[in-house]
Amino acid sequence: MVPVMLRRYGDLTRVALARYLAPREPHRHLYALVADYPRRGGRMMRPTLCIATARLFGAAAEEAAGAAVGLELLHNAFLVHDDVEDESEARRGGPTLHATHGTAVAVNTGDALILLGLRALMDTRATIGPRLALRLLEDAERMGRESVEGQAMELGWRRDVALRLGDAEYFAMVLKKTCWYTTIFPSRAGALIGTRSEENLDRFIRFGFFLGVAFQIQDDVLNLVGNEAAYGKELDGDIREGKRTLMLLHLMREAGDAERDRLAAFLALPRAARDDEDVRWVRDRMLARGSVDYARTVAHALAGAAREECVRLYAGMPDSEDRRFVEELPAWVIRRA
């Protein structure tokens, strides 16, 4: 069910999105670049979750398409700024925006994408009225705030060369940095549009937390063991960036003294000074110490919890394609390659 719905609501979103990505001036140094990441594709998981949730609560898919476009644009804005912040080289199978056009243009393009995403959310007033449209914007602001706080935690760990972090700290960071914009806000936005009410949105936080963390762990596992062409980012880029993944945390705990010293020295280096041999060594240690298996086990448990939450959320509702999509999503996020 998941791939079918991703295609169906993804197509609906892409059509609505095209209106916001029409060529405008200044083109070459702004709007051509604003359209770049959104046009590279993507699975449309966030818009589809939003639309399916809206339908579960009684809205037509078209009524949620504007919010879906808004959150997809905000997602792309985060990607552009995150790529600058992480000094990433590849994204969705191509060079990152800043790698091609420089940091200045990339930061400005990310700002334009934030504004465009907000505009799409503001435009929902035509469907849901000004009061609920404002409520949706307030929730988007909350989502953005959680994201920048999570990003600050992660950047802080790197700057401080944090070596002893527990899984709980990792979960708290991912709740903010990933879950809010990937799973929680899409669910809340869909429910707001479906119920035409701003009440009872907090019930989606647990579901979104379990699902979002499972998603993030699988993403990190794929960065390590996935196929580069299918994955779209540079493989092992996370290790090179010193990203605090569940696997890195596990390795720090399980490593022997000599290993831990080498790992600490590696993490203290600036990104550009980390060489291929070191990156391979970290990767090998993660595999040898069972860090990847550990991460997969945790992701599996979280996906199970997400499914349980989901069954609870929609208990008593009639069977539907939308319900099956949402219930099957947890298993899909940890299965995808």
Which CB sits closer to a second copy, 93 or 156? 156
Handedness of CA 125, 323, 42, 238 (dihedral sign): positive
Stretch that binds a second copy, among 15-23, 64-72, 88-96, 139-147 (CB under 8 A): 139-147
Min dist. Cβ of residue 181 to a second copy (A): 12
Which CB sits closer to a second copy, 126 or 311? 126
Of the candidate residues 11, 141, 275, 284, the single one contacting a second copy (CB under 8 A): 141
State the Cα–Cα distance between residues 175 and 118, nearest whole angstrom: 22
Cβ atoms 20, 73 nearer than 8 A = yes
Which of helix, strand or coil describes residue 333? helix
Which CB sits closer to a second copy, 10 or 144? 144
Min dist. Cβ of residue 243 to a second copy (A): 12
At CA 30, angle to CA 27 and CA 35, rounded to 5? Answer: 85
Positions 18 through 37 that interact with a second copy (CB under 8 A): 25-26, 28-30
Of the candidate residues 1, 90, 99, 137, the single one contacting a second copy (CB under 8 A): 137
Positions 191 through 230 that interact with a second copy (CB under 8 A): none
Please report how the helices 103-122 and 125-159 are oriented relative to each other, as an axis angle in degrees rounded to 10: 150
The count of chain residues that interact with a second copy, using the rule CB under 8 A, is 43
Return the closest-CA partner of residue 336 out of 41, 8, 6, 36.
6
- 161 contributes a contact to a second copy by CB under 8 A: no
Of the candidate residues 3, 58, 94, 130, the single one contacting a second copy (CB under 8 A): 130
Which CB sits closer to a second copy, 109 or 245? 109
- How far CA 238 is from CA of 163, 248, 259, 270, in Å, comes to 16, 10, 19, 14
Positions 59 through 118 that interact with a second copy (CB under 8 A): 81, 84-87, 102-105, 107-112, 114-115, 118
Which CB sits closer to a second copy, 16 or 329? 16
Positions 294 through 333 that interact with a second copy (CB under 8 A): none
Which CB sits closer to a second copy, 125 or 253? 125
- 156 contributes a contact to a second copy by CB under 8 A: yes
State the Cα–Cα distance between residues 229 and 336, nearest whole angstrom: 14
Supply φ then ψ for residue 51, to 5 degrees. Answer: -70, -45
Which CB sits closer to a second copy, 152 or 161? 152
Which CB sits closer to a second copy, 131 or 280? 131
- 280 contributes a contact to a second copy by CB under 8 A: no
State the Cα–Cα distance between residues 233 and 92, nearest whole angstrom: 6
State the Cα–Cα distance between residues 129 and 191, nearest whole angstrom: 15
- How far CA 224 is from CA of 76, 221, 295, 313, in Å, comes to 23, 5, 12, 34
Min dist. Cβ of residue 111 to a second copy (A): 5
Min dist. Cβ of residue 100 to a second copy (A): 12
At CA 52, angle to CA 46 and CA 55, rounded to 5? Answer: 145
Of the candidate residues 60, 152, 265, 301, the single one contacting a second copy (CB under 8 A): 152
Which CB sits closer to a second copy, 16 or 114? 114
Phi-psi map region of 129: left, alpha, beta (phi>0 left; psi -120 to 50 alpha): left
Bridge partners (DSSP) listed for residue 94: 91
* CB neighbours of residue 288 within 10 Å: 12
Q: Which residues bind a second copy (CB under 8 A)?
A: 25-26, 28-30, 81, 84-87, 102-105, 107-112, 114-115, 118-119, 122, 125, 130-131, 133-134, 137-138, 141, 144-145, 148-149, 151-153, 155-156, 159
